[in-house]
Structure 1
Amino acid sequence: MKVKKVPMRMCLGCQEMKPKKELIRVVRSPEGEINIDFTGKKAGRGAYICKDAACLEKAIKAKRFDRALEVKISDEIYLRLREELDNE
């Protein structure tokens, strides 16, 4: 029986490769809309972050989401990400 490969993605905060299922995906849709994608299946360009508040703050400070998604990210998205991490 063949062993299935685990997809790996890089966290924008700590810059470590981790399994895709352990990360939160922020996606820019083809229309340019920014959303948090919990399923990991939405169409568009994605950027990943650990479920760790320190990683999120590092990524925000260095404007890594803006660069990864090639668009300015609103404070509302950052606020929703912080709330999501607080709920974990």
Structure 2
Amino acid sequence: MGLATRKIPMRKDVLTNEMYPKREMVRIVKDKDGIISIDPTGKKSGRGAYVGLDPDAVKEAKSKKVLDKVFSHSVPEEFYDELFEFVDHQKARMDLFGDLSKKH
């Protein structure tokens, strides 16, 4: 018997339209009150979108107001800055430690 291969859940990065493994992405959610926030757990209710761990894509998204279009809602500039910091931090962790969610 061979090892069972598990399907890796993939999600589309709303900033680049590229597909990546879900665990290598950050979920952003707009709740029923229209508040947009980072969802590190992936469990908040609301309209979700995923972004990859690419700080440069976040910078470009800020200048083009990409998330405003994705959520059909005005996204504060501070949120883009917060997202940049979060993505930059997560990317650094991934580069340093590899995929933290894998169990050995």
Sort the TM-score into its range (normalised by shorter chain).
Answer: 0.7 to 0.9
Select 1:80's aligned residue among 68, 71, 82: 82
Q: Between Structure 1 and Structure 2, how many residues are aligned?
A: 88
Greater RCO (Cα-Cα under 8 Å, separation 6 or more): 1
Q: CA deviation at 1:9?
A: 1.2
Asked if structure 1 preserves the Cα contact closer than 8 Å seen for 2:62 and 2:77, the reply is: no
Question: Which of 52, 57, 60 matches 1:55?
Answer: 57
1:64 is displaced (CA, Å) by: 2.0
Unaligned runs of 5+ in 1: none
CA, structure 1 residues 31+51, in 2 after alignment: closer, same or farther (shift >3 Å)?
same
Deviation by residue 1:12-60 (Cα, 9 ceiling, x = unmatched): 2221011111111111011211110011111011121111112212322
Q: Which has the larger radius of gyration?
A: 2
TM score, norm. by length of structure 2: 0.72
Q: Percent identity?
A: 38
Q: Unaligned 5+ residue runs, structure 2?
A: 93-104
**Root-mean-square deviation over aligned CA pairs:** 1.9
